[in-house]
Amino acid sequence: MAQALTNWFQAPGAQFALFSALKILCVFSVLMFIVAYAVWVERKVSAAIQDRRGPNRVGIFGFLQPAADAVKAFLKEDFTPAHVRKAYYWLAPAIVMIPSLLTVAIIPFGSQLGHQKMVIADLNVGILYTFGIVSLGVYGIVLAGYASNSKYPFLGGIRSSAQMISYEIAMGMSVVPLFLLAGRLNLGAVIAYQAGGWLDWFIFKQPLAFVIFLAAMFAETNRLPFDLPEAEQELAGGYNVEYSSMKFALFFMGEYASMAVSAGMLVTLFLGGWTLPFAGLDQPAQTIAAGLLHIAIFLGKMLFVVFMVIWVRWMWPRFRYDQLMDLGWRRFIPLALANIVITAVFLWWKA
C-alpha cells in the first residue's frame, strides 16, 4: 500500500493535483481570514474616524469580534417570511460568494515555490475569464431583491443591475490599453511587463485607466460612495432587508470577498503584482524564501488597497443615482474609449 502511494505521488499528474489542492485550500483560507477581519478593521477605522472605541469587548482590542459575529449569525433564528419566493430566496445568498471564489483562482499571488507557479489556474485568457465571471456577480443581488417580493429590496436589486452592468463596461474598457501594451491576456504576463521598475507599473503608465478601474471597482463591489443598492436612508437596507441569520451574513461575506478579490486584481493590473523593483524582487523566485517573500509582498499591497477602500467608505458622501449613472455612461466610458484609441495610435506610431 505504501509503495503504491509512493508511486502515485511520484507521477507528475498526481503531484500537480496535490499541489493544486493545497493552493486552493490555502487561498480559500486566506481569503476567508481577510473577509472576517476586514469587517473588524472597518469597524475599528470607522470608530477612529468618528472618535469612538469600536469593538473592544471580545478579546484584546476586540480581535475575537469576527468569531463572536459568526456565532451570533449561526444561532439567530433563520426566519423565512411567508410572502417571499422561497426557492429564489434561499438560492440568492448561496450564489453571492461564487464569483469571488472563481475569480481569485486566476490571480497570481506570487512567482513560484520550487517548480509550482503561485496561481491556481494560469489561463492565457485570464482577463476574459475574469470579466466573464465578474458579470455573474449581479445575479445574486438581483435575485435577492426579486425573491423578497417587497418594494424596497426590489428597488435595490434593480439599482444593482443597472449600476453593475454599467460599470462593468467601463471597467472592461479601462484595462484594454494594459493588454495592448503587455501584448498578452495572461495576468502573469501583465506582472512580468511591470517588473522593470516603479515607472513600469501601469498606475504610472496608464493613470487614467487606473482611475476608471478604481471607481468601477467601488461600483462593482457596492461600496460607498456607490452603495446605491443598499442605501439605508432610501431603501431601508436595500436588497437584503428581508434576510436574517446566516443568509444575511452571506451577503456581507460576499461583499467583503468581492472587495478583497477586486483589490487583488487592482494590485495585479496596476501595482506590479508580487514584484518590487529592488533587491531582485521583480524576478521569479529561485529559493523558497524568495517565493514566500513575493507572496507577502502581494498580500501587503492587497491589504493596503482593502484599507483604502474601507477608509473611503467613511470619508466620502454617497452619490445620487443620476450622478452615478451619468459618471459611468457620460464620463468613464468615453474616457476609456479615448484611452484605448490613444494607446493604439501610440503603439502604431512607435512600431
Q: Check residue 150 and give its pLDDT.
A: 81
What does the chain come to in residues?
A: 351
The SS3 of residue 112 is strand
Q: Check residue 6 and give its pLDDT.
A: 59
Q: Check residue 234 and give its pLDDT.
A: 63
Q: Check residue 250 and give its pLDDT.
A: 87
The C-alpha atoms of residue 76 and residue 242 are separated, in whole angstroms, by 14
C-alpha cell at 136: 455573474
- pTM for this predicted structure: 0.91
Per-residue b or e along 283-292, where b marks 16 or more CB atoms closer than 10 Å to that residue's CB: ebbeeeebbe
Q: Check residue 45 and give its pLDDT.
A: 92
What is the identity of the amino acid at 50?
A: Q
CA distances from 59 to 40, 64, 68, 255 (A): 12, 5, 10, 25
Per-residue pLDDT 10s for the chain (351 aa) are 555 555 555 666 667 778 888 888 998 899 999 999 998 999 999 999 989 988 888 888 888 999 998 898 888 888 888 888 888 888 888 888 888 888 888 999 988 877 788 888 888 888 888 888 887 878 888 888 888 888 888 887 888 888 888 888 899 999 999 999 998 888 988 999 998 888 899 999 999 999 999 999 998 888 878 887 766 666 666 777 888 888 888 888 888 998 999 999 999 999 998 998 887 788 888 888 888 999 999 999 999 999 999 999 888 888 888 888 899 899 999 999 999 999 999 999 987
The C-alpha atoms of residue 193 and residue 273 are separated, in whole angstroms, by 10
Q: Check residue 145 and give its pLDDT.
A: 84
Q: Check residue 222 and give its pLDDT.
A: 82
DSSP H or E run through 116: strand 116-117
